[in-house]
């Protein structure tokens, strides 16, 4: 029996991937679970295991190919045992019990509905909401009964739903897609050019940045934090942190400061649902850290930052940043972020304007800290003093539909206060 291996729904917002490695050839015998392909998405390099036990008849992809979700990558000749199992599973899915056949459609739906949570990615859940589909009614075709986006679309096409799936899907995608780009002139008529394919992570970055900029009215608030005392503490403790397999960077302090500010100002930890007219405030604090890699910008996510001490954050940030540079991040390490920090200080520059990581509503940028002459005023004798201080540029970009300038100023003031009083941050569990 022939079976197709298609690119599955890999998670939140992922529609395509680039083939990095092909581990099998036509004629190879494989077992279910054997890694046959490695696909790079905007999130990570993902190993894809074989869903079947059998023989590879045809490989329809090669290294460098861009494959979309639902496209066939490998064709198998499935062994008899697997074929029998597949036929049995197919019959169980398509043939309801005799008693159920006698019931009217409404009664069947009511009695057959499953209870409890349904395994599905956030993107699939969002599509189901937009198409008016109850995930409990959908049979999952993915591993372990995972409901995919294709399952939802297929279910929405059934007559009893009465849904124009094409129209509804187009409407949903129009909300999330930026407007089309205008046609460019033929630059080769003006001189030599080199055409580099926009693919893999760079293609996704281009799409997401255009989406964010077109959907979100960006406003920024800028300030500086005096991190003279913080830098002393960082240097005093960095060796001890390294002994615990961590790296005490300025970003670690920023994570802790941002988490405290998000607890004080929860609307910065939200997303805006324009269709429903709701601001969704998240009660969890998962902060993404923009990381520069050879593949492009990657944003690994550190979960529950507000519940971790400095040592835990130093270790986790060091480990997850290394995995990002080596393209070894798992999907669970790149999804679910509620707020983002980007630090370009090690590269240079006096300031920059970060773009919000849609569908978040704010992003905190750190510039390069510099020694500057700072004037201090003493209220007692009306005297001024001048001393060198290490000043860190801060820029907060925020969604003006959800947040206002006064809120942004208070949020940055909170971050500043934490950075300027580093004794508020605990390094180690007692």
Q: Which residues are the active-site residues?
A: 400
In angstroms, the CA 98 to CA 364 distance is: 60
Among 171, 167, 176, 131, smallest CA distance to 149 is for 131
Q: Give 220-263 as a DSSP string.
A: EEEEEEE-HHHHHHHHHHHHHHHHTT----HHHHHHHHHHHHHH
Rounded-to-integer distance, Cα 373 and Cα 420, Å: 17
Q: At residue 250, what are phi and psi to the nearest 5 degrees?
A: -60, -30
Contact (CB, 8 A) for 282 and 270: yes
User: Is 119 in contact with 140 (CB distance < 8 Å)?
Assistant: yes
How many residues are recorded in the chain? Answer: 430
Q: Degrees (nearest 5) of the Cα angle 195, 200, 204?
A: 100
Distance CA 155, CA 417 (A): 53
What gap in Å lies between CA 370 and CA 19, rounded to an integer?
43
Helices and strands of the chain, counted as H and E runs: 11, 19
Nearest to 133 by CA among 155, 148, 114, 116: 155
Burial (Cβ within 10 Å: 0-12, 13-18, ≥19) of residue 226 = middle
- Asked whether the beta carbons of 356 and 212 are under 8 A apart, the reply is yes
Q: Which residues have a Cβ under 8 Å from the Cβ of 290 and sit 6 or more positions away? A: 297, 298, 299, 340, 341, 342, 343, 354
Q: What is the DSSP string of 124-156?
A: HHHHHHHHT--GGGSPP-SGGGPBPHHHHHHHH
Query: Which residues are CB-contacts of 96 (< 8 A; sequence separation ≥ 6)?
Result: 108, 112
Direct distance between the N- and C-terminal alpha carbons of the chain, in angstroms, rounded to an integer: 61
Q: What is the SS3 assignment for 151?
A: helix
């Amino acid at each position: 029996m022939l079976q197709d291996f298609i690119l599955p729904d890999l998670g939140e917002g992922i529609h395509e991937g680039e083939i990095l490695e092909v581990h099998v050839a036509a004629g190879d015998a494989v077992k279910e679970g054997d890694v046959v392909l490695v696909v790079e998405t905007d999130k990570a390099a993902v190993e894809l295991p074989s869903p079947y036990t059998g023989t590879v008849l045809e490989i329809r992809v090669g290294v460098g190919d861009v494959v979309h979700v639902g496209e066939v990558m490998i064709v198998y000749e499935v062994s008899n045992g697997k074929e029998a199992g597949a036929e049995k599973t197919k019959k169980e899915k398509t043939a309801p019990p005799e008693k159920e056949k006698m019931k009217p459609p409404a009664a069947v739906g009511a009695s057959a509905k499953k209870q409890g949570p349904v395994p599905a990615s956030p993107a699939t859940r969002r599509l189901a909401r937009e198409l008016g589909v109850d995930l409990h009614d959908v049979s999952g075709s993915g591993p372990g009964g995972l409901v995919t986006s294709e399952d939802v679309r297929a279910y929405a096409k059934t007559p009893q739903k009465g849904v124009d799936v094409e129209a509804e899907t187009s409407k949903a995608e129009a909300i999330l897609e930026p407007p089309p780009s205008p046609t460019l002139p033929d630059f080769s008529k003006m001189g030599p050019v080199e055409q580099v394919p926009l693919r893999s992570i760079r293609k996704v970055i281009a799409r997401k940045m255009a989406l964010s900029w077109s959907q979100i009215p960006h406003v920024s608030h800028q300030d500086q934090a005096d991190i003279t005392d913080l830098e002393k503490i960082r240097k005093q403790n960095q060796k001890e942190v390294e002994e615990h397999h961590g790296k005490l960077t300025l970003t670690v302090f920023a994570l802790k400061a941002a988490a405290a500010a998000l607890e004080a100002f929860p609307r910065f930890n939200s997303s805006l649902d324009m269709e429903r007219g709701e601001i969704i405030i998240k009660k969890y604090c998962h902060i993404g850290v923009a990381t520069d890699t050879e593949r492009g910008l990657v944003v690994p996510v550190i979960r529950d930052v507000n519940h971790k001490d400095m040592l835990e954050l130093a270790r986790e940030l060091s480990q997850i940043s290394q995995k990002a540079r080596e393209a070894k991040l798992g999907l669970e390490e790149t999804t679910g972020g509620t707020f983002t920090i980007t630090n370009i200080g090690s590269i240079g520059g006096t300031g920059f304007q970060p773009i919000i990581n849609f569908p978040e509503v704010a992003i905190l940028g750190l510039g390069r800290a510099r020694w500057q002459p700072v004037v201090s005023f003493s209220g007692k004798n009306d005297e001024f003093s001048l001393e060198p201080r290490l000043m860190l540029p801060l820029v907060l970009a925020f969604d003006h539909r959800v947040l206002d300038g006064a809120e942004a100023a208070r949020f940055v003031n909170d971050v500043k206060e934490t950075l300027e009083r580093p004794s508020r941050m605990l390094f180690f569990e007692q």
